[in-house]
Structure 1
Amino acid sequence: MGSSAPHHAPDSPWVQVLDTQDMDQHALAQQGWALHYEQLSPGQFKGRIHQVQLPEVTLLREDTSIALRQRGRLDDSVYGFAMALQDSPDLFFNGQRVPAHAIMCGKGDEVDLTTPPHFTLIAVVVERSLLNPLWERMYQKPLAHWLEKQLVLQTTDIKAQNLRDLQLTVLDQASALAHRQHDPQALRQLRDEILMEWLEALPAQVDTSELPNLERRKKLVDRACELMMGHADEPLSILEVCSRVGTSRRKLNYCFQDVLGTTPIKYLRSLRLNSVRRALRQAAPGETIQDIASHWGFWHLSQFAQDYKHLFGELPSDTLRQR
């Protein structure tokens, strides 16, 4: 375990560096945010959070070892800007595939991020009360309306690399200053320097014409997931799901690949296995693996145990003993 943030006055800077081996603990450790993670690729979870809280701005570096879907919210009053430290073809943000050298941005009332294994995210989260006047000073106009959406915006490879280098440098420098609890002017200068770098990396023109199509595909995927998880003990066939959401099997598969980079069947199996794992960790005395597995639609226990071990690297009985 790394160090966690001490208690400070609301406006005091603080630093958190935390190493985790539990996905749910990792999600909960990101202070002030409500996030929920699902494991999508095989392996044991290992993560690290490096978070620096400055007045009206949070700087973040997050390292994770396995593929995840991260969902939740930051806050209605903040905007987030994020980028992968290493580009990956298997990164999706709010149903949009993220190309190389791209910035993920938008209002913090919704987060939906699907990340590949061995992934590092850098991000800055800024309060509207700071971003709005800064934006007006920089561009002589109000905050862009497209920031209310969740967007993937292209920047240049040079700007992307400069941004990555500066974010890592500022994280270290701000951490050192915050630990010493002095020189607020130096902290503000660092904060403003990194925030300006993020804003200046954004493109001059933003085209949102494709957003309605993207949002429709994502809504279809979300409806299908909700429907499938609502019948966990008796999983619906894909044809039944298609009938209920009003689409063809081909379109459903296309939408899942487009939004999450996987198939409906594979994604649903991962969700159900994640749910079993959480239930095993919270099992009541006398509750059996078979009880929990069947509740989530796993009736063939030998195949279930094999699938479980493949995803999590341990048997269901190992998880139950650790609760």
Structure 2
Amino acid sequence: MLNGTASTQDVPDHAARQDAPWCARSHRSTDVDEHASHLSGWRQAYDQLGSGGFEGRLDEAVSAGVQLFRERTSQRLRQRCEVWQGALWCGITVADDGSRLDGRLVGADGVMVSGEDGGFELVSPAGHDIVGFVVSREALQAHAPGLVLPRAGGAGWWAADPARRHAALVHARAILVLAGAGVSCDLRSAMLDVVAGLLGARGPERRERGNASARRRLVVQAHEFVERRPDAPPSVPELCAALHVSRRTLQYAFEDEVGVNPLAYLRSVRLNGVRRMLREAGEGLTVQGAAARWGFWNQSAFAADYRRQFGERASQTLARGLRRAG
């Protein structure tokens, strides 16, 4: 189970009612964790890898057993995601942007799909723009009884027919506009038609295999290593020894999976950890205390790193957290 941010919004009702009303929402946020929490029913944890202030927008429409969203984010992110129980997700980026799904580069005209467990990891670039179709497996099978749904393994992607992929994006935009205007007639059926059409025409799914799988495991293990002892971040030689790999292997794994070197990535993980502590603003928390908890002992260097990463001072993040806590 993903240990991340769970949305406080309702999970879409799985009841197969064609006339079910739609609930449409739009959110804008300058906080990456707040943004991650907006998607109804999902569990998500986002780490900001790019430098500078964050801006995110989510447009979402939810009905019985279906959910449609368009998400735009300004910074490079590592997104750990888990859809609501019993759901299947198909994702289409508006442009070919070099996103990586479970460690594999998503190619041109790609359509992404979640596996049976509903969990996946997406490394998205700055300026990411994606449309997500989420449907209850039960509702989809009732709508298209002969359709074979993805089951074995984790998430994957395939190269779709460009015209079908474009049509899916056009339909998604229309459904979001109509749902926002309070029009619900046949939208649910149209949404299920789009997903059934994409899945029915899918080619072989591109899943992580061989070296790609090993590289992704290395990044995950390194991330977990830091989270177990956040106050004592390892050096690269220490990390290599702990993971039983060469420095070159570790370097290649991080460059291929997340696009940065190991030290830069793990520094981002720790800075994101500090930011979450400051947002939660526990009793008596100080900037210095949060920084020390994540192994930043040089306060001037930490202050510069934090401001460069998030586009604001750590004290500003804490002040917002304290205001939220009341």
TM-score bracket relative to the smaller structure: 0.7 to 0.9
Measure the CA separation in 2 of the matches of 1:253 and 1:60: 35
1:103 aligned to 2:119?
Answer: no
Measure the CA separation in 1 of the matches of 2:165 and 2:12: 33
Equivalent residue, structure 2, for 1:254:
252
1:53-97 deviation line (CA, Å, top 9, x unaligned): 1222211111112111111311341111101112112x1111111
Equivalent residue, structure 2, for 1:188:
188
The one of 97, 103, 109 equivalent to 1:88 is 97
1:170 aligned to 2:175?
Answer: yes
Measure the CA separation in 1 of the matches of 2:81 and 2:188: 29
Measure the CA separation in 1 of the matches of 2:11 and 2:85: 24
The one of 228, 238, 241 equivalent to 1:240 is 238
Measure the CA separation in 2 of the matches of 1:241 and 1:43: 28
The one of 51, 57, 61 equivalent to 1:48 is 57
The one-letter amino acid of 2:303's match is A
Measure the CA separation in 1 of the matches of 2:191 and 2:303: 49
Measure the CA separation in 2 of the matches of 1:135 and 1:213: 37
Measure the CA separation in 2 of the matches of 1:9 and 1:286: 41
1:150-172 deviation line (CA, Å, top 9, x unaligned): 11211243333232222212222
Q: Percent identity?
A: 31
The one of 152, 158, 164 equivalent to 1:159 is 164
- Contact kept, 8 Å, 1:159 with 1:201, in 2: the verdict is no
Measure the CA separation in 2 of the matches of 1:119 and 1:162: 20
Q: Give the superposition deviation at 1:222.
A: 0.7
- Contact kept, 8 Å, 1:136 with 1:143, in 2: the verdict is no
- Contact kept, 8 Å, 1:67 with 1:115, in 2: the verdict is yes
- Contact kept, 8 Å, 1:54 with 1:191, in 2: the verdict is no
Equivalent residue, structure 1, for 2:324:
none
Aligned positions of 1:79-158 closer than 5 A: 79-89=88-98, 91-107=99-115, 109-133=118-142, 136-138=145-147, 142-146=148-152, 148-158=153-163
Measure the CA separation in 2 of the matches of 1:36 and 1:5: 16
Equivalent residue, structure 2, for 1:38:
47
Q: Give the superposition deviation at 1:230.
A: 1.9
Distance 1:163 1:187, change over 3 A: closer
SS in 2 for 1:30: coil
SS in 1 for 2:273: helix
The one-letter amino acid of 1:240's match is E
SS in 1 for 2:296: coil
Comparing 61-70 with 288-297, which one deviates more in the overlay? Answer: 288-297
Segments of 5+ residues of structure 1 without an aligned counterpart are: none
Q: Structure 1 length as normaliser, TM-score?
A: 0.85
Q: Give the superposition deviation at 1:122.
A: 0.4
Measure the CA separation in 2 of the matches of 1:259 and 1:76: 27
Q: Structure 2 length as normaliser, TM-score?
A: 0.85
- Contact kept, 8 Å, 2:26 with 2:60, in 1: the verdict is yes
Q: Give the superposition deviation at 1:120.
A: 0.9
1:256-301 deviation line (CA, Å, top 9, x unaligned): 2222222211111111111111222333454432222122111111
Measure the CA separation in 1 of the matches of 2:282 and 2:10: 34
